[in-house]
Structures are given as structure tokens and as C-alpha cells.
Chains A and B, each alone.
Chain A
Amino acid sequence: MTDVANDGMRAKTAAVAKKGAASQARHLDERLGLAGGVRWLLNYIFPDHWSFMLGEIALYSFIILIITGVYLSLFFVDSGKEIIYHGSYLPLRGVKMTEAYQSTIDISFNVRAGLVMRQMHHWAAIIFIGAIGIHMCRVFFTGAFRRPREINWTIGLTLMLLAVANGFFGYSLPDDLLSGTGLRIAYSVFESIPIIGTWIVYWLFGGAFPGDNLFERMLVIHMFVLPLLILGLLTAHLVIIMRQHHTQFPGKGATETNVVGTPMWPGYAAKSGGYFFMTFAVTAALAGVAQINPIWLYGPYDPYKVTTFAQPDWYIGWLEGSLRLMPNWETHLPGHMIPNAFFPGILLPGLIFNVLYAYPFIESYLTGDKTPHNLLDRPRDRPARAGFGAGMLTFFFILLIAGSDDLISVFLDTPLQLVVWVLRVLLFVAPVIVGLVTYEMCRELSKVPDGGKRKRANIIVRTADGAYHSVPSEPHPADEHHELLPAPVGEADLPVLVGAAMTPGRGGPPLTAPSGTVGSTAPSGIPGVSTVTRDTPPAPRPQRGLLPGFGLRRNRRPGNGSGGNGAGGGGGTGS
């Protein structure tokens, strides 16, 4: 009904249509008083960066989950009652199963469009949690969780936990052999909690495993309780984002006090709306061609049937791995016991998520940085944070691999015990190594001014008398933001040799970059040389942190910024 004027119509038609749109807006405003709020919303500016799409994927897959989930709920039977199957899927005829399992088989084979909906639902769940995870990594490594956004970090983390829990409940509902085994493990893990564990599982399951009212209760939790919580927190998450406005990367005129990007209306609405449909399209394509959770192959759950190679969905896999790597310790107290599963299944994830919840406050304590931030860090500029994050991800990754240790053992034709022992060692060694390597790489990278940008090509020209000259090529029009500044080797960039007398004059006048000199003196290798220089003490860092590594490591080129205190600096700016 609106947004014309840009699509190539004649000016006259545009004017007419615009009038129509405007009159509709007036019509609504007179009845609802929208003008102030909605205009604010339409003018809301979204900074442009591809990584800001990750949260949107999560949001959109949640919508897909609701739509497909409603369809599935019309056919699913939440009953643990046992029946004998006489349906259309021949291999299972005459097999004893619950009505929950039977209805899932029916959805897959007898309900038209049922299988594609079921598979879309499952894929969307996997994409939902995956997108949340990657979105969280983006927020973590770029420091988007810093003041004033600590609250939204904790809300986001809670959303992730709720999403994982709901994924697990949904995965358990069909009552197939694989998910039933997973439920049995979950039961034992929660039963292992000291003092209240046995009560918790009895409250949830209604009694000893498998319990009397399990499917009815799981369905209420899966369809009502958790989605409602997710919806509420999601709304809070988005409202807080709108209130605080998005963060943005420095550059292209972005400062701590402005937002540079595309307004909601019409550009962003069109792009993001299109993105919603594209997320839907990818999910549908996966559902069409990539089979997922073929429960008819696993068979119905029977507590005494044995599964082999049982892997849960990936977001639970790291907990499975944690259970598998745990040595067989159990704590005995007088008259009481803390079972083995408590330590890897409850204590470890509990500790990890507490650290994650507290991380914004921990980092702010370590760096002493209490100022609000709207500009993001490049990960390399915060080596300690990047190292910690990389180490944490490695830890999760090893646990995830360990969740498939039996498959690795078969694949590598290696005894399971060896695989487990290697993974046990790696679990503690690999994160440290990865963390330190990341830390060191980030430190080195952050010393290189404008590291990661492209160098302008030099064209070697041979003259008629055989002499060679190098001439810098023309800049590519689209490359402006990615290119190194064509600067000669300056005083400040010369290597330090010995003694204070040779230390480059950092306080001297800023270098200008006369482009004509590029290529004739020392066209390449400047960053390499300057790496050495950066070992000299740079301009004083703004933080007074306890751990220097957590502070900002970025050293800006003297001619390019405002000295050591860059635009994303830890202190001073933005308050």
C-alpha cells in the first residue's frame, strides 16, 4: 500500500499513490494516535553488518517453529498409553507402542504435508538454537554485552537455555527408542541432584521412570510454558534493543553517539522481511531433501531395548560428551551419596553458565571499564577476551566430539578407552592451547595497523631502456573501506634498534599520506616492519584494569586516529 516513488514509476503515479498511503496513515493515526511512536519506529536506524543478521535468523526460526508446531499439535496425541500398531507402515505392524509414537508415525506417513511440517519443525529447532549460539559468539567477541547491555546479555543467555530445554522436550515427545533413552539419561541426571533431585524427577515424571503422566506434562511444557517464557523474554530482548539502539562497528562515520545505517522504513523492512522468507525457504528446502529424525527406523521406546550409537541433537551433545568423559567417581557421605552423573551433568554446566551470566561484570571488574559502549570491538583488539572465548568454544567442541566417542572409535578403528583418554586430556589441554594461541595471534594482529586490510597492488613497469618502476594501481571503487592507507615508511614505523635514542618519535607530528610516494620507497612489508616498532610502549591505555590483556589492544596508526585511544577505546569516549 505504500513505498512507491522508488520503483521507476512516473512521477505522477508516484504522487497519487503517495497521497493514498499518506491518507491511510492519517486514517489510522486519527483512531489510534500512532504518529509519534510509529514514526519513531519507521525512522529507527539499523546499522548494516552481516553479523547482525544472526539474531534475526533466530527470531525468524522461532516464528517457523510456532507455525509448524501449531500444525503438528493438531495431530499429535500426548498419551503414553500402549497400543498395538495396525497402521499403514508395514514394518511396524503388530508392534507394541505408545499412542504418542503412533501419532508421530501417522503424522509422518498418513497426514498430508505432515512429514514436511515435522521435518521443518525439527530443522527450525536446530537452526534456532544454532543461530542463538552463533549470535551469542558475535555478541561476546565484539563486546556488545558491555554496559549498558549487560541485562540483554543475561536475557539472551536465558533464552538460549530455554530454547535448549524446549528442543529437548520436543525431541522426546515422539517416544522413539532414541529419545526414550535420552529421557532415561536426563531422568538419572536430574535424580542425581543432592537433596531435591529425587523430588524434582518425581514432580516432573509423576513417579519412577518412565512415569505415569509424562507425555501430557511434556506437551504442556513444550507447547505452552516454555514457548510463552521464550516469547516474553524475546519481547523484552527486542524492546531493550530498540530502547538502547543497536551497537555498531567503528568506521564509516560511526561514533559512540550516533547510529549509521538503514532506517526501518522502507529499506530495512524490505530487506529483513525478505530475509524472513529466505530463512523459511532454507528450512523448507532442508525439510524436503534432508531427512531428520526418522523415528520409524528407530522403533518405539522400550525401557529394556538397547540402542547403539545413540547421539542426541547437537545442542545436547556436549552434555552427553561430558557424561561420557567423566571418570567413575561417586561421593559418599554418611547416609548419603552424590551420584556420578551430578558432576558432569549438573555441576559442570551450572558452573559454565554462571560464568557466562557473570561475564560482563567479570570483564568490567578486570578492566575497570565502567563506561557505556555503543561501538563494537574487533575481536583482535581484545586479545584476552578473544582467547577466553576461543578456549571456551574449544572446551564445548571437545565435549561435543566426546558425545560421539563410540563413532570415533569405530571410524578410527581405535579402542574406545584410548579415544576417551585422549579426549579427557584434550578437554583440559586444548582450550588452554587454543586460548593462548588466539591471545597471541590477536596481540600480534592488533599491533599491525589496519591489519587484515588489502594492500594496494603495485604495477611493475619496464621502461624502454630496461629500467623497472613500480606504480601503484588505481584504487578499486568498492574497496575504499578495505584498503590500507597508502602511507610511506615513516619515522614512527622504523624499527627500534637499541637505546632510547633510537626510539621513534611517537609524540611527533602526525604522518600524512602523500599518495605519490607510495611504491617508490618501500611499497610492501610496512606492516611487518612496524610490528617491531609496536613493542615500544604505545600511548597510555585508558583502562586501569587488573589484567592488562582484557584491555583494548588496538594501536592506531598515528596519522589515522587520535593516538592510542581509538574510537572504540575503553574509557573517555561516549559517556
Chain B
Amino acid sequence: MFPITLTHYLVAGAFLFAMGIVACIARRNAVGILIGIELILNAANVNLVAFARYWNNLDGEVFAIVVIILAACEAAVALAIIINLFRGFGTVEVDYASKLKE
């Protein structure tokens, strides 16, 4: 059994971040994109908590709690946008919501 170091957490966070980015870029479904953003935020949380543990203080954890609160707000706002999107276009495919361009 090898010890789990900071690097492991960081790699896990980077992986989560990359997952989130890919989800944002590749998915057309707005809910999917929202989930991708949540993944990105949580990747940051992982990093913050890992660094807090590494430096042995609570600063990072406080930040992580703030981010979680932020994520909750963001999810509420984003879901509201998605509902409106659906009402307006009859779909949650973000590609249809390119009205400014057309």
C-alpha cells in the first residue's frame, strides 16, 4: 500500500477538471453542460481541500465551502435559465439558442 500524496489529489482534481471541460465542450444538452461545470467546480474543491490538508490549515476548506455554496446558487440560476430555454425553444439543446448570430 503506497501513501496517498498531494500529487494524487491534484491528478484526481485535474482529471475531474478535464472531464468537466470535455462535458462542457462536447455535450449539447444544457443539463450536461451544467453537470460539466459542476465537475469543474468540484475539481477545484478537490484541489482546495488537498492543499488545505497539505498546508495543515483551514483556509482551503473555507474556500471549498464557499465554492459549494456558489455551485448551489449557480445550479439554481442555471436550471432557471434552462427552463426558460426550454420554454422559448422547446428544447434544451444549446445550439438552438444562437439567436444573436442568426
Is the pairing of A and B real?
A: no
A residues contacting B by CB (< 8 A) are none
